[in-house]
């Protein structure tokens, strides 16, 4: 097994996903929407298996992930061209009325074709802060690449390119994935709170007493010079002190 740097790990884990990890951080993007009707929503499951880790479309009736109790999530995957990374990325958002209202207010009510403008997205909130919010502000007309040029650069067509963030799978394919899927319950485990055992009393005295004071100075064992002690973990014979 080879080590990976944290940067390599994050690159693989978040590959193709738009994110601003730090409070106060910002990114300039081009929304790959030419009209509001381009927005797409998906009912999806997040799968972790040896074959694939990521989102898959919920199949609906007979869905193996639903039968296994894996939560179905209604997701809004927003395609953007991230100017800094030079890549098409998807902004993973849960569907809620507040965020949709913001998209209308900051984007679609002001710009009939959002892809013609560059928007700056700024994060306000720390890691996993439930109160995190984002400012979305147009900072200029798009002089980077047009919508058509961006798609052509990556040989992408919409909505087919969404397969990079949420896969369409058959019942058999999803069943195979779930056979090697792990059960990650880390989010449901509460914080550990230490509780003293009933009747437990510490044997450590409240007041520290010097050993020399307790036995007198005449019987103090001289310190042992350990500069030559082996550090390879092997046991060594102890020399019996001579008094």
Q: Phi and psi for 191 in degrees, rounded to 5?
A: -65, 140
Asked whether residue 73 is assigned to any structural domain, the reply reads yes
Give the confidence band of 180 by pLDDT, cuts at 50, 70, 90. confident
Question: Scanning the structure block, which residue is given the tokens 């972790």?
Answer: 48
At residue 191, the pLDDT reads 61
Asked whether residue 71 is assigned to any structural domain, the reply reads yes
Contact 19, 167 (CB under 8 A): no
Give the confidence band of 10 by pLDDT, cuts at 50, 70, 90. low
Instruction: Tell me the average pLDDT of the chain.
Output: 81
Give the confidence band of 192 by pLDDT, cuts at 50, 70, 90. low
Asked whether residue 117 is assigned to any structural domain, the reply reads yes
Domain enclosing residue 18, as ranges: 9-182
Provide DSSP, 88-145: EEEEEEE--HHHHHHHIIIIITT-SSGGGEEEEEEEES-TT-TT-EEEEEEEEE--S-
Q: What is the mean pLDDT of residues 89-112?
A: 94
At residue 160, the pLDDT reads 97
Residue 88 preceded by cis peptide, ω within 30: no
At residue 185, the pLDDT reads 43
| CA-to-CA separations, 141 to 27, 86, 108, 120, 213, in angstroms, rounded | 16, 18, 15, 12, 82
Question: Looking at the predicted structure, is the pLDDT value of residue 188 above 90?
Answer: no
* Highest-pLDDT range among 124-133, 146-155, 192-201: 146-155
At residue 55, the pLDDT reads 97
Question: Looking at the predicted structure, is the pLDDT value of residue 18 above 60?
Answer: yes
pLDDT higher for 52 or 243? Answer: 52
pLDDT higher for 223 or 39? Answer: 39
Which residues lie below 8 Å from residue 115, measured CB to CB, with a gap of 6+?
A: 30, 31, 32, 33, 34, 142, 146, 147
Asked whether residue 188 is assigned to any structural domain, the reply reads no
At residue 181, the pLDDT reads 72
Asked whether residue 168 is assigned to any structural domain, the reply reads yes
Asked whether residue 228 is assigned to any structural domain, the reply reads no
At residue 224, the pLDDT reads 37
Question: Scanning the structure block, which residue is given the tokens 């849960």?
Answer: 94
Which of 9-18, 85-94, 206-215 has the weakest average pLDDT?
Answer: 206-215
Alpha helices, DSSP H only, in the chain?
Answer: 6-13, 64-67, 97-103, 147-153, 171-179, 211-215
Asked whether residue 100 is assigned to any structural domain, the reply reads yes
Asked whether residue 93 is assigned to any structural domain, the reply reads yes
Question: Looking at the predicted structure, is the pLDDT value of residue 195 above 60?
Answer: yes
Which of 28-42, 111-125, 204-218, 223-237 has the weakest average pLDDT?
Answer: 223-237
Domain count, the chain: 1
Give the confidence band of 225 by pLDDT, cuts at 50, 70, 90. very low
Percent of the chain exceeding pLDDT 90 equals 62
The model's pLDDT over 149-173, given as tens digits with 9 standing for 90+, comes to: 999 999 999 999 999 999 999 999 9
């Amino acid at each position: 097994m080879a080590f990976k740097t944290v940067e390599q790990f994050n690159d693989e884990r978040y590959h193709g996903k738009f994110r601003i990890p730090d409070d106060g951080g910002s990114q300039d993007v081009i929304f790959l929407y030419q009209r509001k009707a381009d927005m797409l929503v998906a009912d999806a499951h997040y799968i972790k298996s040896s074959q694939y880790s990521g989102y898959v479309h919920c199949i609906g009736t007979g869905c193996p992930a639903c039968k296994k109790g894996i939560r179905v999530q209604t997701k809004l995957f927003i395609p953007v061209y991230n100017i800094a990374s030079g890549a098409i990325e998807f902004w993973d958002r849960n569907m809620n009325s507040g965020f949709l209202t913001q998209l209308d207010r900051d984007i679609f009510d002001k710009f009939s074709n959002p892809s013609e403008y560059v928007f700056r997205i700024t994060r306000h909130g720390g890691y996993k802060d439930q109160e995190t919010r984002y400012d979305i502000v147009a900072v200029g007309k798009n002089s980077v690449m047009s919508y058509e040029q961006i798609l052509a650069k990556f040989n992408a067509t919409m909505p087919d390119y969404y397969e990079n963030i949420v896969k369409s799978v058959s019942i058999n394919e999803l069943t195979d994935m779930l056979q090697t899927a792990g059960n990650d319950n880390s989010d449901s485990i509460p914080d550990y709170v230490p509780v003293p055992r009933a009747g437990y009393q510490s044997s450590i005295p409240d007041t520290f007493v010097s050993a020399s004071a307790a036995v007198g100075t005449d019987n103090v064992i001289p310190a042992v010079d350990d500069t030559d002690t082996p550090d390879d973990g092997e046991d060594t014979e102890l020399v019996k002190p001579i008094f």
